A and B are shown apart, each in its own frame.
Chain A
Amino acid sequence: MTVDTASPAHRSGSIKRFFERFPFLPALIILIVLLVLNGIYQPRSVSMIGITSLVKTYLALMLLAVAQTYVVYAGDIDLSVGAILSLVNVVVITLMQQWGGGALPIFGAMAAGLAVGLACGVVNGIVVAAFRLQAIVATFATSIFFTGLALYVMPVAGTPAPTAFWRTYGGSLFQVPFVFYVVAVLAALLFALTRTRLVTHLLSVGDDAPAAFQTGLPVTAIRIKGYALCGLFSALAAFCVTGDTASGDPLVGGKMTLFSVAAAVLGGSALSGGFGTVVGSVVGALIIGLINSLVYFIGTPSEWQNLVQGLAILLALMIGVLVGRMARR
């Protein structure tokens, strides 16, 4: 990690250390401010139902931002996450349609979806890390390829998901909305992954690839694994989109790609690699969602909504960077 722990910490040392341990704190503060503002302008948006809707809607983006973060760790980028999401979405829907809507076929289709996501990730990894093509261009190219595959699997949006599938995603278990269980499992999964050697390796590669190579780390293999992990999480994001939209759409994820990058950066990850947290990216995704709602709730005229939304995201980025820098000084 780039965090320099050796510098003297006489003044405000504890705050500094606090921000080092939790680099997503600025993002978390922005999130809370946004929640309060949303609550002021539309009280119902922060009710239990409102928060559930928010999580239900943006869970896919949270997962996609997490996916993006693992490649960003290593200083790479993946502009094909949205296309992978679309491809997994249409594959899962098509398989569920063919195999019927029972529990076993649903889990079978999801397993196949994970395999597709993994395969796409490995392809990206090989193209970027083994063939040494520039990540930004190579994954842009694979995104077109994956979209092409998605269009081959399902030429036009349609085909409903089995009712059991989306009723589960949108429903409740023991009075608690299903999506909150997903969030809990996700939190545990992310926590477990943070402890793995792969994540540490990805961060060291992103921090200083030649140095990592010289210390004997298999840099190419690590980067490929990063993309594989990214593919897997994109597939998980696809399950959420499938649950929320109950249908297949070969173009559904296209616009989500850059939002996933924005969410990762909002959450405090450095695109140059070596620094960041997945928790931050999850918070970043929620920030984007809350900004979108707030822009509307404060009554922005329709012709200004895009502009205000863009400005608000920029502002959030600037606040995050400034607060982080001040705290680390």
Chain B
Amino acid sequence: MANLKTLIVSTVSAFALTTIAAQAQDFTIGLSNGWVGSEWRTQMIEEAQAAAQAWKDQGVEIEVLVQSANVDVPGQIAHVRNFINEGVDAIIINPNSPTAFDPVFAQAKEAGILVISTDAEVSSPDAMYVGIDQKGWAEASAKWLAETLEGKGDVVAINGVAGHPANEMRVAGYREVFEGYPDIEIVNEVNANWDQAQGQQAMQNILATYPDIDGVWVQDGMAAGAWRSIMDAEKVDSIAATGEIRKDFIDLWIENDFNSGASVNPPGVMASALNVAVYLLQGRELKEPAEAGQYGNALYLDIPFIGGDNVEEVATEIEGNPGYYSYTDSLSIDEAGALFK
């Protein structure tokens, strides 16, 4: 009985505390992340939390609520429903599906909640996308590869998860670029599921089948694996391949003088989305409405690029961080503000 009493008292006081805290706050923003398989996602959330902190100096108090776990699509729909139950002001989501959230986002909008997706676009007309254009991301590195090869040669591509929307957009991106170079031939395309070990394995198989390839177009963490195979085969000098943005890889790149270039999908996209969200919550209007992309609801951010000319600078910038740290970039509060009227 005594235990029950303590429970009730502590719960009630917890409520009292949250109520007091709630009055001092201006906005509550819920962050939902449906996959925790990589450090990139952790960094994405940490940067968004830091961005919320930064608003304090502007006199805006932001409470950030985070739901981050390996969930299936219904599980992430539950994330959104939890946020609706709690009455948040905005939801920022890195979605597990581009289309599956249409009904639940409609519910959120009915409840007066602003919904922004980041990292992957969503089809819902009730949400907005703030992030990079995955197709443009692929085009930039494919262009680098084509130009590095001086427009001719045999190229292979190592892709992520077949059927994953970001992967399909990226595939469309590099194919389109390579089509513009008649002397570049894509001799093979394989899927290595965004897994470093599978990327390494795929590259080994490719080198065994096509020992004379000139270029490799490979995405994200798989690039580190692919480059390991290239090093093992002692072909660092004869192959140009795209790279990635983690510190481990950047160090390896400089150490071995890779012929590499990497489009940056910065983990800071969620922080950028948060800054945009706050301005929208304050009732500000975008100078140019978010109407880009296949769903007509996207606000695309600039895509940084790491190449031979600036890789040293990047390395200095991320010096002192752990090996899994990704090179990042995000809209600051002022930069985000510049997008608004």
A61 within 8 A of B: yes
In the complex, 6 of the A-B residue pairs with CB atoms within 8 angstroms, ordered by the A residue number, are A155-B168, A247-B100, A255-B70, A259-B72, A293-B78, A302-B45
One of A39-47, A106-114, A133-141 at the interface: A39-47
- B68–A170 touching, CB < 8 Å: no
Q: Which secondary structure dominates chain A's binding surface?
A: helix
B148 within 8 A of A: no
* Smallest CB gap from B35: residue in A: A255
- A249–B74 touching, CB < 8 Å: no
A65 within 8 A of B: no
**What is the CB-to-nearest-CB distance from A309 to chain B, in angstroms, rounded to a whole number?**
6
B164 within 8 A of A: yes
- A306–B69 touching, CB < 8 Å: yes
- A57 CA to B176 CA, complexed, in Å: 39
- A250–B75 touching, CB < 8 Å: no
- B72–A293 touching, CB < 8 Å: no
B321 within 8 A of A: no
Q: For residue A60, which residues in chain B have a CB less than 8 angstroms away from its CB? A: 74
Given A42-B82, A45-B85, A302-B67, output 6 extra A-B contacts at Cβ < 8 Å.
A44-B85, A155-B163, A245-B101, A250-B163, A255-B72, A303-B68
Q: For residue B163, which residues in chain A have a CB less than 8 angstroms away from its CB? A: 150-151, 154-157, 250-251
- A160–B72 touching, CB < 8 Å: no
Q: What total of A-B pairs shows CB separation below 8 Å?
A: 132
- A247–B67 touching, CB < 8 Å: no
**What is the CB-to-nearest-CB distance from B341 to chain A, in angstroms, rounded to a whole number?**
33
Q: Within residues 149 to 182 of chain A, which ones have a CB less than 8 A from any CB in chain B?
A: 150-151, 154-160, 166, 170
A97 within 8 A of B: no
Interface size on B, residues (CB 8 A): 41
Q: For residue A154, which residues in chain B have a CB less than 8 angstroms away from its CB? A: 163
* Smallest CB gap from B97: residue in A: A249
The one of B73, B102, B161 that contacts A160, using a Cβ cutoff of 8 Å: B102
The one of B11, B36, B68, B82 that contacts A45, using a Cβ cutoff of 8 Å: B82
**What is the CB-to-nearest-CB distance from B36 to chain A, in angstroms, rounded to a whole number?**
6
- A157–B100 touching, CB < 8 Å: yes
Q: Kindly state the interface size class of chain A when it binds its partner.
A: 35 or more
- A254 CA to B73 CA, complexed, in Å: 10
Q: For residue A166, which residues in chain B have a CB less than 8 angstroms away from its CB? A: 102-103
The one of A54, A158, A297, A309 that contacts B99, using a Cβ cutoff of 8 Å: A158
A253 within 8 A of B: yes
* Smallest CB gap from A53: residue in B: B81
- B97–A252 touching, CB < 8 Å: yes
Pick the 5 closest A-B CB pairs, nearest first: A245-B100, A247-B99, A302-B66, A255-B72, A302-B68
Q: For residue A24, which residues in chain B have a CB less than 8 angstroms away from its CB? A: none
* Smallest CB gap from A257: residue in B: B72
Q: For residue B84, which residues in chain A have a CB less than 8 angstroms away from its CB? A: 53
Q: Within residues 229 to 258 of chain A, which ones have a CB less than 8 A from any CB in chain B?
A: 241, 244-256
A101 within 8 A of B: no
Residue of B33, B73, B107, B161 with most chain A CB atoms under a 10 A cut-off: B73
